[in-house]
Amino acid sequence: TATPTTTMSVTASLAFGNVAIGQTLAKNLTVDNRGAVHPLVISSVTSSDPSEYVLSGTGTCGAIPIIVAPKTTCTLGVTFAPNVVGAHGATLTLFDNATSSPQHSTLSGTGIKGLTISKSGLLFGSEKFGLKPAISFSVTNHQTRQVTLNENFSGTNAADFSITGGTCTTTLGTDKACTVVVTFKPGALGTESAALSIADSPDPLSPYAIAISTGPTIPATVTPTSIAYGTLKTTTKTLDATVTNLSGFSLALTNSIGGANAGDFTVAGGTCGVTAAAHSSCTAAVKFTPTGGGAAESASVAVSLANDPTSPHSISLTGTGQ
């Protein structure tokens, strides 16, 4: 039965902020018996979301039923333990003998991942064999406890990726961040892919996966980009272009000549055959036999290599006969 002379108030709202999944945060709700004569009796307390917001059993009010003497206050401990990521709201309802019963307190909090990573994926461009490009990202521990860290690569081309630096070690402290440097060493023709798994313990959401992908790898180079024969005092002149296969794979090789004076240039000789051997260089001998009667001539030779995204490699050819 409500007692007209008994009045009370409770903390209108509790904001728990961001709490990592698997963690529990406690806050106190204040109960104030404003009456001068009658004790306040709280017979029950219910939560609209009992899976995430519950009484903690802490605070100074004691166990239910709670009796608060006139003109005194006590505290109720309320905990928030998010079970999914996102914002969560609830209402705590107190049933008591005050005229304003029941009392309500609004609860709010957001569940977040225990670990956040600054990049959801790592994308390497088209990289040359022999180079080791790197990408860095940060890892942040949002938990209220230290965690142990472990990283592991998996997937089709896992062996071509490695962690080569950064500040992350085997442990990461509370609310601390560290960096990870991932290096890519091309080892396959075409695009490559893998996944990096970062595990932190304890963390019910662990492990966290980062997708890794690349553009088509570049297995070869062709130099120079232009050949100038100058003015010939002889009937022909041969100069070399160099094809370097940077990869560990044999590459099919073809060439063709086009342009205004294509008929006066030919690929004749050199050490290159129909394939460019792995980890080696060869030459394509390009011969100029002018027929222009002293006029400047030009053409271009296209060197094509299989599985090379930069192919065909174009070499401009210029020369003048006397």
Q: Residue range 253-258: average pLDDT?
A: 97
322: CB partners within 8 A, 6+ apart: 231, 232, 233, 294
First to last CA, the chain: 120
Question: Which pLDDT value is given to residue 35?
Answer: 87
Which CATH superfamily is 115-214 part of?
Immunoglobulins (2.60.40.10)
> pLDDT band at 36, cuts 50/70/90?
confident
Question: In this predicted model, what pLDDT tens digit does every residue of 82-141 receive, in sequence order?
Answer: 999 999 999 999 999 998 899 999 999 999 999 999 999 999 999 999 999 999 999 999
Centre a 10 Å sphere on the Cβ of residue 255 and count the other Cβ atoms it contains. 20
Domains of the chain by residue range: 8-112, 115-214, 220-321
Q: Count Cα neighbours of 202 within 13 Å in the Cβ-side half-sphere.
A: 5
Q: Residue range 13-28: average pLDDT?
A: 94
Question: In this predicted model, what pLDDT tens digit does every residue of 181-221 receive, in sequence order?
Answer: 999 999 999 999 999 999 999 998 899 999 999 999 999 99
Pair type for strands 134-141 and 40-47: unpaired
Longest Cα separation, the chain: 123
Angle at the Cα of 69 from the Cα atoms of 63 and 70, rounded to 5 degrees: 145
Question: Which pLDDT value is given to residue 3?
Answer: 44
Question: Which pLDDT value is given to residue 1?
Answer: 43
Q: Which CATH architecture has domain 8-112?
A: Sandwich (2.60)
- Dist CA 103 CA 132 (whole Å): 64
Residue listed under structure tokens 């009370």:
8
Residue 320 has pLDDT above 60, yes or no: yes
Question: Which pLDDT value is given to residue 5?
Answer: 53
Q: Tell which residue, 93, 172, 168, has the closest CA to residue 137.
A: 168
The radius of gyration of the chain from alpha carbons, rounded to an integer in Å, stands at 37
| Within this chain, domains 115-214 and 220-321 share the same CATH topology | yes
- Dist CA 51 CA 80 (whole Å): 9
Q: Residue range 263-270: average pLDDT?
A: 94
CATH number of 220-321: 2.60.40.10
Question: In this predicted model, what pLDDT tens digit does every residue of 132-180 receive, in sequence order?
Answer: 999 999 999 999 899 999 999 999 999 999 999 999 999 999 999 999 9
Torsion of CA 51, 57, 63, 66, to 10 degrees: -80
Q: Model-level pTM?
A: 0.81
Average model confidence (pLDDT) for the chain? Answer: 95
